[in-house]
Amino acid sequence: MRPSDFTSSRFGVLTTKALSSWPHAYFLPASLPRELTLESETVAAMSRADLALGRLSGLAMVIDNPALLLGPALAQEALASSRIEGTEASLSEVLSAENEEVPIENENLREVANYLRAIEQGTQLIKTWPLTMRFFCALHETLLTDVRGEEKSPGELRRSPVWIGSPSARPETARFIPPHQDDLGELLADWERFVNDPSSMPTVLRGALMHYQFETIHPFLDGNGRIGRLLIGFELMHDQVLSAPILHISGYFERHRNEYYDRLQAVRERGEIDEWIQFFSSAVEHQANESAGRIRTLLEIRERYRAQVRGDRSQVADLIDVLLENPVITVSAVVRALSVTQPTGSTLLRRAESLGWVRSAGRWGRGGKERWVASEIWNAVTLVSFDNPAIS
């Protein structure tokens, strides 16, 4: 870090640890502000984000089974957040892996699968647990088990310094050095109070500050970005703004990755909090509108498909919800989901093909099982037209 870059002490200062073996300066963040005076442009951006969240929340309340429409969208969120950290995988691979009954061999896919498990875990824990170190350490343990970074103490706060920069960066060349491990206890206690104490602060503002501070504290040796992004959705659930993790904000951060990192760093270096909050609010607004549009489209598809087979004596109507949960499917997945025989599962997929719901997408995975893709559902989830049988 270059001390000359840190021109504002509004949100923290560069310091060193006296009588320590760590000789490098690091950034010690200030306590999170409980009040902020913001520019009118920032206030307007937060208001738009709040309105978008309200529309999304209202839509979610009328869905008879919100979890039904979360599967592939959550997979996208897990994939986007993992890609920001360098994981290489495609959505079709992730959804195909969910159909497998054997352990996932590909480490990239295991990382995404762990992220999905952490979402499921957090969704249950947030019903009874506050947002504390205990909460996010539990998610961290799930995230880093049996994948790269497992040697970096899953579920435990770091006990040594870390630095952020290129893969080959050293402390001398790092762009950012988070606080010393000895400072974590006090910093995280303040973070917990900020997140859990009653506040009149707008939800979007609280989320922006919460995420900024978590990433700045960097409490783990690895996985900080993914956990920090998970916490955005769980704070919205904690504050009873959303009832399920249906805001998939990592897609926006992935598409604007450089700006995402630059805005966080600009708060530390130059105190540019308005710019960060505007960026965060734009992410919330865009992704809330996108999620709402996706849900509306999926509901329309579900009702149209049900109307198509009303009166059909086969179980093909039961296949609709299975396809909504995962539009990339195999015969074996149908057999498990509907408790039918292999021949019946195959017949149902052929019937769905005749109705235009699915098409073959070739073979994948161990044993080369044939995959089927519900193209219209795939298009609604990915917002990209399905035109390649390989669905890369």
Q: One of 140, 211, 218, 238 is an active-site residue; which one? A: 218
Tokens, residue 343: 């021949």
Q: Which of 157, 164, 185 minimizes the C-alpha distance to 26?
A: 164
Q: Which of 23, 77, 109, 71 minimizes the C-alpha distance to 337?
A: 71
Q: Is 218 one of the annotated active-site residues of the chain?
A: yes
**Are the C-beta atoms of 233 and 247 separated by less than 8 Å?**
yes
Burial 290-321, CB ≥16 within 10 A → b, else e: bbbebbebbbebbeebeeebeeeeebbbebbb
Three-class SS state of 349: helix
**Phi-psi region at 385: left, alpha or beta (left = phi > 0; alpha = psi -120 to 50):** beta
**Phi-psi region at 370: left, alpha or beta (left = phi > 0; alpha = psi -120 to 50):** beta
Cα distance between residue 220 and residue 109, in whole Å: 22
The CA dihedral of 156, 223, 113, 211, to the nearest 10 degrees, is: 110
Question: What is the DSSP code string of 193-262?
Answer: HHHHS---S-HHHHHHHHHHHHHHH--SSS-HHHHHHHHHHHHHHHTTS-SSS---THHHHHHTHHHHHH
Q: Tell me the HSE value of 384 on the side-chain side, using a 13 A CA sphere.
A: 9
Cα distance between residue 315 and residue 348, in whole Å: 7
| Count of all residues that appear for the chain in the document | 392
Residue numbers in the known binding site for ATP are: 85, 218, 222-229, 260-261
Q: What are the catalytic residues?
A: 218
